[in-house]
Chains A and B, each alone.
Chain A
């Protein structure tokens, strides 16, 4: 447990550093982002989103619709919102700030899931 806490503390420090660097040099921030946080995929299958995610800040999440019907991926506070995703269409969003993001399908609102950004 102790070790885990320490890790979080370190990664928070790194993140803070990245944010500070980002302010002074946007290009570097982009590079740091792609290096520390590879893209994460969420599949939409049978009217449900892939499992809830816990990801480090800066991760880009890509949703892919595998259903025969369109879906719209949107955060419950509309921080992000995709277009109508037809079969095999993708939508990506990069989570930069830590927090818990609840999202749903705007046309099938029973479909809900979340992304926890650390």
Chain B
């Protein structure tokens, strides 16, 4: 179990060795800073200070926020009011020192792909003081009609496929879909059509272009027994190997984990709805029921500062409960 940080409530913060070995479980917020492929981390107490410093640092070009797994429509014991916790996430975004340029939502916006759930989520997220919101679907968003409703709402600019890329201040962002056409016995899947598109999409880019990939299911193998991985992610990452700085942001597992593999940093975000257990610590990855007063410490948002030129990416995972 040396690979896991179960809790970051103690004052000495993160076990760096365990962190670099693979994974970090954070019940509370942490600051992650990547510089030249080397990660360092700080406990939440100083993370807030550090984040504020970083956002004021000259050279910080922009920041954005990742939110994930809102599951609007879920109403079970683990969190009977997921709309309220999504609203808290939005409030936190609005009270951040630096206004993010945009939001990334890494999927599971809804619980059951219902129109009313999407409506509520959009309504709440509209209140966020950020430019645009970029989405990728989670499996909960494509439960009916192979995701047509999701595509109609959120994928209009993506040729109906849901995957797309855009450039922002010198950084190339790629949103991928790995929740459709899943094969029996398999994991998340990108599919050959999307992989071909990705290869073409990055072909023209200089190797110095920083790349940020976001998708719902982790693009690295976290725990295949629970489906926490993507079958053909190695091929996708193969197209990105030549780039100097690649960051992969995922959701799906409702907890913070990080890994560094060569020039690629992987990061998963907290959910705004309910926590899920650490890999293998429960019979299944279903919603984790925690005492009400602890719930908001286990939900959150990730605020990402991008430092142009140095290729540094600082990801601050903030719990919904104020630190």
Q: Does B185 lie at the interface of the complex (its beta carbon under 8 Å from any beta carbon of A)?
A: yes
By size class, the interface of chain B is: 20 to 34
Interface pair A107/B182, CB less than 8 Å apart: yes
Q: Does A19 lie at the interface of the complex (its beta carbon under 8 Å from any beta carbon of B)?
A: no
Q: Which residue of B lies closest to A83 (CB)?
A: B144
Q: Does A46 lie at the interface of the complex (its beta carbon under 8 Å from any beta carbon of B)?
A: yes
Q: Which residues on the A side are within 8 Å of B77 (C-beta)?
A: 68
Interface pair B182/A86, CB less than 8 Å apart: no
Q: How many A-B residue pairs have CB under 8 A?
A: 60
Known A-B contacts A46-B284, A69-B286, A84-B112; the reply to A104 vs B143 at CB < 8 A is: no
Interface pair A110/B185, CB less than 8 Å apart: yes
Q: Which residues on the A side are within 8 Å of B185 (C-beta)?
A: 104, 109-110, 112
Nearest-neighbour CB distance to chain A for B240, whole angstroms, equals: 25
Q: Does B140 lie at the interface of the complex (its beta carbon under 8 Å from any beta carbon of A)?
A: yes
Q: Does B187 lie at the interface of the complex (its beta carbon under 8 Å from any beta carbon of A)?
A: yes
- Partner of A84 from the list B144, B225, B285 (CB cut-off 8 Å) is B144
Q: Which residues on the B side are within 8 Å of A109 (C-beta)?
A: 182-187, 227
Q: Which residues on the B side are within 8 Å of A107 (C-beta)?
A: 139-140, 143, 179, 182
Q: Does B76 lie at the interface of the complex (its beta carbon under 8 Å from any beta carbon of A)?
A: yes
Interface pair A68/B144, CB less than 8 Å apart: no
Q: Which of A46, A87, A107 has the most CB of B within 10 A?
A: A107
Nearest-neighbour CB distance to chain A for B219, whole angstroms, equals: 16
- Partner of B227 from the list A68, A72, A110 (CB cut-off 8 Å) is A110
Inter-chain CA distance A108–B182, complex, in Å, is 8
Q: Which of A46, A68, A83 has the most CB of B within 10 A?
A: A68
Q: Which residue of B lies closest to A106 (CB)?
A: B182
Interface residues of A in 66-84 (CB under 8 A from B): 67-70, 72, 76, 83-84
Nearest-neighbour CB distance to chain A for B268, whole angstroms, equals: 17
Q: Does A47 lie at the interface of the complex (its beta carbon under 8 Å from any beta carbon of B)?
A: yes
Q: Which residues on the A side are within 8 Å of B283 (C-beta)?
A: 46
Known A-B contacts A47-B226, A110-B226; the reply to A70 vs B186 at CB < 8 A is: no
Inter-chain CA distance A82–B111, complex, in Å, is 17
Known A-B contacts A84-B144, A107-B182, A110-B187; the reply to A68 vs B286 at CB < 8 A is: yes
Inter-chain CA distance A6–B112, complex, in Å, is 49
Question: Can you name 9 A-B pairs with beta carbons within 8 Å?
Answer: A47-B286, A48-B284, A68-B77, A68-B287, A69-B287, A70-B112, A104-B184, A109-B185, A110-B226
Interface pair A110/B225, CB less than 8 Å apart: yes
Interface residues of B in 112-169 (CB under 8 A from A): 112-113, 139-140, 143-144
Q: Does A102 lie at the interface of the complex (its beta carbon under 8 Å from any beta carbon of B)?
A: yes
Q: Which residue of A lies closest to B287 (CB)?
A: A68
Q: Which residues on the A side are within 8 Å of B182 (C-beta)?
A: 106-107, 109
